[in-house]
Amino acid sequence: MNAPAKTPTLDDVAAQAGVSAATVSRFVNNPGVVAPATAERIRAAIAATGYIPNLLASGMASNKSKLVAVLIPHLTDSIFNDTIEAMVAEISAAGMMVMLGITGVSASRTGELIRGALSRRVDAIISSGPLDPETVELVRRSPALFLQIWELPSEPIGMAVGFSHAAAGRDIARFLVSRGYRRPHLITAEGARAAVRRDAFLAEWQALDGGPVSQATVDIPSRFGHARRAFADMRRLEQLPDVVVCGSDYLAQGLIVEAQAAGLRVPDDLAVMGFGNSSVAGEMRPTITTVDVDGTRIAREAIAAIRRHGEGLPPVERSIDVGFRLIARESA
């Protein structure tokens, strides 16, 4: 039986590259501090020896784990996907690693994942999930930076990078009134942020004397498949709405498919509006009118905040509003 191969060490890399072990260590912790030619020799030596840096040990020495936990409610049909992809790319480019957690809609599950992340000494937690009071207190006492994304609470626990869901709801109402719609049907996911948009829409619609509003709710996450039941329920209403406002583009896509299968023309017989500006919104026929949120900017603002936190600097702002924009396309 062959003896197991010797695990390559930092000294092996140093010998291969013709530099000191301290230089290799500096490169592993922060590649930018090493001259380009030296860095290239060290990269080649790491590849040749098969050396795997012990980032846990270097993190203990520097009190930085270079690990960021990203917690989101779900991935399937998620309006967070583009934001998460941009965020992972930005975090990786910054030389950090991502620990991704799926919280669902449970505050207890979110709390479990936050505890797990803190036990691994993460530098930051980026979360869009629900929080219970116990977890809030835990996060407040932690040295890790806590970032809430996709919302702007009045008192962020650490920092918040997002947009006003109430303002989005009001703008949707104004847009539909300006386009001449008078009988909207709202399909809202059973979540706090969606409820804020719905309530703001209803208040603004009433203020604008927009006409009667019908409503329905779907489970979280709202999916393409929810559209069949939602459309069937809507068809039983006394009067067919002239526009359906959906909580996500995936739900809007499903509504368009159901409407067309029933012989309705979109938007002539029934207009449809989504939310999130997913890739499907611009690829459907008809293309979907929606609300776009700049996920890439959310990611960049979050990374900038994490870098400042790592340098021991306070945040420039505790709440960063990235705004949103309404995109009028063919479906409404």
Q: Is residue 331 part of a domain?
A: no
- Which residues make Cβ contacts (< 8 Å) with residue 212, sequence separation at least 6? 183
Which of 40-54, 88-102, 219-233, 263-277 has maximum average pLDDT?
A: 263-277
Element (H, E) at 58: helix 55-62
Whether 200 and 272 map to the same domain: the answer is yes
Please indicate, yes or no, if residue 276 is contained in any of the structural domains: yes
301, 155: one domain: yes
Look up residue 235 and give its two tokens: 């068809």
* Residue 85 is assigned to a structural domain of this protein: yes
In the block, tokens 């784990």 appear at 65
107 and 94 in a common domain: yes
The answer as to whether 191 is a domain residue is: yes
Q: What is the pTM of this model?
A: 0.78
Short-list 220, 212, 218, CA closest to 240: 212
Cα–Cα distance for residue pair 29/156, rounded to 1 Å: 31
> Within this chain, do residues 151 and 180 fall inside the same structural domain, yes or no?
no
Q: Kindly state whether residue 88 falls inside one of the protein's structural domains.
A: yes
SS3 label, residue 150: coil
Q: CA torsion sign, 195 to 196 to 202 to 205?
A: negative
Banded pLDDT at 5 (limits 50, 70, 90) = low
What local confidence, expressed as pLDDT, does residue 191 receive?
81
Which residue has tokens 């479990």?
A: 112
Total structural domains within the chain: 3
Q: For residues 150 and 219, state if they share a domain.
A: no
Q: Give 277's contacts (C-beta < 8 A, 6+ positions apart).
A: 249, 290, 291, 292, 293, 327
Whether residue 201 is found in the same domain as residue 101: no
pLDDT digits (tens, 9 = 90+) for 69-122: 999 887 766 677 777 777 788 788 877 888 888 887 778 888 889 988 888 888
Q: What range does the domain containing 251 cover?
A: 165-292
∠ CA(84), CA(85), CA(91), 5° rounding? 85
Amino acid at position 236, single letter: R
When pLDDT is averaged across residues 25-42 and rounded to a whole number, the result is 85
Alpha-carbon distance 166 to 153, whole Å? 11
CATH for 145: 3.40.50.2300
